[in-house]
Amino acid sequence: MKFTKMHGAGNDYVYVDCFSQSAPENAPELARQIAHRHFGVGGDGLILIRPSDSADARMQMFNADGSESEMCGNGIRCVAKFVYDHGIAKRDALKIETGAGVLDLALSVGSDGLVDQVTVDMGVPELVGPKVPTTIPTARDDQRVIAVPVEFAGRTLEVTCVSMGNPHCVIFVEEASDELVLGLGPKIESDPRFPNRINVEFVEVLSPTEVRQRTWERGSGETWACGTGASAVCVAGVLAGRTERKILNHLLGGDLTLEWIEQSDHVMMTGPATEVFSGEWPTR
């Protein structure tokens, strides 16, 4: 089976072109094996690039633990790059189908004829608690969970919950330390108040237009970037009164630019997409 290793701001996945070859029979098990950083290719998970009846391609994403996720903001930029660079659809505006719906992407092509930056319309955030989903109680009539104090493992933190097609818990902190990200992150991910588990963002506000983010990602552990998480942070920053609608987000693997557009309610994300190498994975 042929594969391509790609990353968006350090959020790396193994990609399989299912236009030119059959899709793997057991994708969850393949994800666990191929994403292993010691015994496999290594990555935050597996992404299948499949034909679609409603878009230029369909992205199917599996985390490193084999669980399937609805959406990946960094992954979809890499899917768009692959679709363009490998001639599946040679247009600078693409539609990609995901588990969270069909998204529009605008591609920036470099002087070498290859895509280097992609802007993704991440759509309208879901803010109603039960739809995120979370069972955290809130006194708000609209059921939004915004800066609500919640205790996790004996520590109280203010959380804002947002879905960008997948669930996020955004926590603004003075320092996004290892104690929080690696120690508390996995406990929050599997907290029973998040029925589908949750992605957790720990965010330092540098200014009203600039933040630094670390993410404990559902099913993958800490990742070097999270596009849906960065989008959720942009929304949460506005709701919690921490940031403006357009921000620069510094992640471990690079920077993303986000804007929550007031007129349309859509979140726009711009960032890099990089192809690293290709190879073959034994199917026996």
| 190 close to 198: Cβ distance less than 8 angstroms | no
By 3-state DSSP, what share of the chain in percent is helix, strand and coil, each rounded to 5? 15, 40, 40
Burial (Cβ within 10 Å: 0-12, 13-18, ≥19) of residue 257: middle
DSSP 8-state code for residue 137: -
From 72, 78, 169, 234, active-site residue: 72
Does 226 qualify as catalytic in the annotation? yes
| Nearest-10 Cα torsion for 132, 135, 139, 145 | -30
Q: At what angle do helices 73-85 and 227-239 cross, to 10 degrees?
A: 130
From 78, 161, 169, 226, active-site residue: 226
DSSP 8-state code for residue 124: P
Does 161 qualify as catalytic in the annotation? no
Enzyme catalytic residues:
72, 226
